[in-house]
Structures are given as C-alpha cells and as structure tokens.
Structure 1
C-alpha cells in the first residue's frame, strides 16, 4: 500500500498509525494498530473518531491485513467486526461495503488495497469540494457557530463543517467562530478549539446551553454542523445537541447548514426515525476523564441516558452542503438526495 498521511491517520512503511484524539489537546500520542481488536478498541473509546475517519481507519487496517497474508475468510470477518463498532456512522458501512466488493475480485488482495487507497484519496477531494461550496455561503464578518468536531481530525482532508470555516477564513472573510463545547465528551472544547487555534481562526468557546442567548442577542449569523448519517428525506443524525441548535436556529431565523460528503448519505434509510442511535457508557455523563485524569461528580448509582447522536428533521435545515453542491429545501423534498445514490 502506498504512503497515505492525514492529520490523525497515516500509513507509512507498512504501519497503520492513528492519533489518539481522546488525549488531545494536551498530549499528542500515536497508536500503531496491527489487529482488528486494537482498531475496534480505538474506535469504541473515541481515540479514532469522526464519521469519515472511522471508515478510513478501518479500511486501511483491512488492506494492511490483506497485504500481511490474511485469507479471505479472515478479512470478511474483520470487515464485519469493524463495521459493528459504531452503528450510526454510515461512512463506516460505506467503506466496508466497498471492501466486500473488492474481496470478491479474482485479484482480491490488490483490489482491497487499491480500494482502501482510493477511499482515502477520495475523502481528501470530497472535503475540498464541500469546503468550496460551503465557503460561498459565508459573508464577510460572519459570526459562525459549530458543534462537535468536523475538521481535519475527523477526515482525511480539511474536514466537513469545519472545512467550510477553514476555507472561508482562507478567503479572507474575517470570520469569528462560536464553538460549542459539545457535552458530554467535549469534542468542541478539546478538538475544534484546538484545530481553530492551529489555523489561527478567531473563536470563542461556549457551553452548549449558552447558544440560545447568543442567538437572541443577534450574535450568530449562520450555523454549520456535520453529520454521521443523512436519510433519503434529508433528516440527519449528528452529535447529540445538534437538534437543539436546529430548533433554536429556526426560532431565531438563523440559516442552519449541514455539511457532509455523499458517503454520509444513506438513501436506503427513508427518514430519521430509521437511523440507529448509539447509546454509550453512562460514565461519560456522570463524570469526565482525559489526559488530565478522571473526575466523578454524579452519585455512583445515578440513572443515565447517554445517546451519542440526535436526529435533526429536514424541515429545520436551510441547506445540505455536499461535495456535489448545495441543496435547499425544495430540492431535497423533490428527491435530490435520492438522485445522488
């Protein structure tokens, strides 16, 4: 397999390495991953995260195992096990489906490797196109709000929603970004703030429950978020808390955009009700842990509800920014997303 290098995933000299996103921003630690068990654990513990990146990391590992001599049965099992790690993120399913097809080819080792390489390189190009389309929606001096982390840490390229922000900044639009901390795992506070700092983009970190007061005060011009799965009707799942923002944006008449590649589109899923929502460990809510250690604030016997994602209905979305263009309400309700499959 050729050398492939992204911000948080790389394949060099026969080694798959992933950046530990759970330890950012205070520690930079790379993990070498050589087995399905290791990759599954990295994904489940959010050391590898971001819908596009999860799929790519899993694909590179499968290709690596193919080159190391794993047989077809072992690779098929690896694909199934990796696909099961994160049930909401459809990019992972997309990548694994591509590898299943490659595994059926006569020269299946070469096919699996070339498929993984193509998926990686395709993601870089998809991010660039999304960023260019989305940046056209940003006006000079805009105050933008975003949720979770959707930048270069979560993709092979410059990101989805955060890629749009990066491109708008690069175009000299003099923007400022409000960053939701994104409870309970603080991907905004830890990762988005980190990326914006690296890119020298002005930002202000806020608690998730501060967004409404900012909108009421007229301090938010547009909202850009990512997605883990977009249904055929335009409903989409994203990090929990996104739906809150969409409702608030509708009330305050603020444009609300979802940014995602076509690989996040699931046209076999008719609507948001059909999107499986992953529920995670209650300990993520009863306390916090990271490079700084661990702190527990809730009673040990507290009942916890901890969905990783929520679903935003299509009628709250101003526009869907995909790598193929920007789609408005009229286009999506007319079946534009179905035509992209």
Structure 2
C-alpha cells in the first residue's frame, strides 16, 4: 500500500488535500478545531471513515484550547455541533464525535485537566488505529467474493483516500491483488466531484491495480455486454433495515446490477451502521452548492443562472444489495 490519507503527528494531523489530486500531491496541517471543520466541509478530506477519524482529533483540538474544565463544560456542545454540522449524512462523523464526548464525561470527574487532554488524544489515536484494522478485515472478508479474472465496477472513492488505510470498497481489491488474483477495475468517474476519475483511478494506478475509467452512464451498457462481474461500493450510512446511503448514483447502479444478475456488494465498517434509524427514509441527504454542477474548476459548463439540484447521496434499498460486508463479516438487516 503506497497511499496514506492521514498522518498523525505529535501535536497535529497532516492530511492529503484531495481537492488537488491527481495533478498535485500536497499535504495540509490541521492543528485546531476550525482547521478540521474547514477540511471536512470543503472536501479537503472526504470519505465517511476518514471524516470520523479526523473529527475525533478535531474534538481533541477543541478541548485542548481551554485551561479549565468549567470552560469546556460550557463549550462542549458547541464543539460537538460544529463538527457534526460539517457533513450531516456520514454517520461515522457523529459516531466518532459522540465517542469522544462520552469519553470526556467519563474522564471528567476522575482526572486533572492535563490528564484528560492526554487521554482524549490517546482516544483519537485509538480510533485512527482501529480504522486501519477494520478496513483490513473488511478487505479479507470481501476478497472471498472476488474471483480470479474478475472485472469489478466501483463508484466514487472508497479506498485509502477515504479511510486511514486500505479503504472499504477497495480494501478487498487490494487484498485480492496481494493474493495474486488477476483482476481489473472499472472506475466510474463519479460526477460532480469526479472522485472516481481524480482519486480512485489515481490510487489504483499508484498501487499498480489494472483499471479503466468510464463515464457513469456507461456502466449499464458494460453490464449488459457481460463485462462487469461484480459491483463493490462503500457507504456513508446504513440504516437498521440495511438501506444504504452512499454517493449519488449508487442506487442506479444497484438497479442495473439487479437487472443484469450481477452481485452488488457494500463494504463498510460497523461504525457506519446507524441503528437509531429504521430505514433509509430517515437519512438526511446533504445538498451542496449549485456551482459544483455548473462549473469544472474555474470554467462554467452551463449558464451561470441555471437552476440546479445537487444531492450528494442517494439511498439504495436493502433488497438491491447482495452482501453488506463489515469488519465482523456479513451484516444482515436488523442485525
């Protein structure tokens, strides 16, 4: 594995600025709560697991700014809400922030402030290390469904750039390559941020995995021609009934895969499962700026006053999914 999206340093974290890929590889230092919030909301970093890891450090950065527990008590909900509101759909973000918050309240009445800060830093490091292990385990389970000579379609980016290491959807692909399976990946470009074209193709090339970039609308034709054997995607949130929120276009792919009798796999850590919601109908779908649709870099590709709808995610129903793979194995609805 040549790619790492996040580097944990003594007093800060360093992340790849993914807005600049594939043309420029530049790292950004995140030292404060506001740095982390900016990086998440402005797509410097993205991918549900990575957002969760970064947010855990963001929580710690927010706490360490204060020198009295009473100040923290007064500001803790502001810190929590500031982080959670950066990207509302990805449940890993909420999970990580709530875990850090709960840890703070466990420590609050037991230790002095400096010890609390150190233990919160250790907790953020623990979340980072757990993410690496979880992604590797997801890869081991997913690899069982990848046959030699497979042609696999993936959507968006659910690889090393979306996690601390390995990825979710791409983890099984990397494990398959390590086991010398001959595989080829079809990479959906993934409008409008082009995470497939800019990020997935880039990291697959870095890791010497054979791949071909396609426009999103080509997937159905390739399936009908028998050129796709398997679809593997990640997830930003999974409801208790198994409905999955993932990058816009995922639902369409699941319909096409079902029509063409192609297995459709979702790979995600258990931290992505939200048992507080019964179905995908309850998942808040983030909508982003109209300029993401009508502009590419600094060039307008549509009229400036064009009306735009830009939902970032869609909901794939459980019945369209062949397997949901986590670090614990297969997930079943209401599990």
The bucket for the TM-score relative to the shorter chain is over 0.9
TM normalised by structure 2 equals: 0.93
Q: How does 1:1-341 map onto structure 2 within 5 Å?
A: 7-67=4-64, 69=66, 71-72=71-72, 73-104=74-105, 105=107, 106=109, 107=111, 108-289=116-297, 294-327=298-331, 331-332=332-333, 335-336=334-335
CA contact (8 A) 2:240 2:277 kept: yes
CA contact (8 A) 1:66 1:113 kept: no
Give, in whole Å, the separation in 2 of the partners of 1:326 and 1:154.
21
1:339 — aligned with what?
none
Give, in whole Å, the separation in 2 of the partners of 1:93 and 1:37.
17
Residue 84 of structure 1, CA deviation: 1.0
Give, in whole Å, the separation in 1 of the partners of 2:217 and 2:182.
26
CA contact (8 A) 1:8 1:18 kept: yes
CA contact (8 A) 2:59 2:97 kept: no
Residue 188 of structure 1, CA deviation: 0.2
Give, in whole Å, the separation in 1 of the partners of 2:80 and 2:88.
14
Which runs of 4 or more aligned residues in structure 1 lie more than 4 Å from their structure 2 counterparts after TM superposition? Answer: 67-71
Stretch deviating more after TM superposition (225-234 or 65-74) = 65-74
Q: Which runs of 5 or more residues in structure 2 are unaligned? A: none
CA contact (8 A) 1:7 1:156 kept: yes
CA contact (8 A) 1:161 1:224 kept: yes
Give, in whole Å, the separation in 2 of the partners of 1:32 and 1:112.
20
Give, in whole Å, the separation in 2 of the partners of 1:61 and 1:96.
9
Give, in whole Å, the separation in 1 of the partners of 2:62 and 2:87.
21
Residue 69 of structure 1, CA deviation: 4.3
Give, in whole Å, the separation in 2 of the partners of 1:279 and 1:20.
22
CA contact (8 A) 2:33 2:61 kept: no
1:3 — aligned with what?
none
TM normalised by structure 1 equals: 0.91
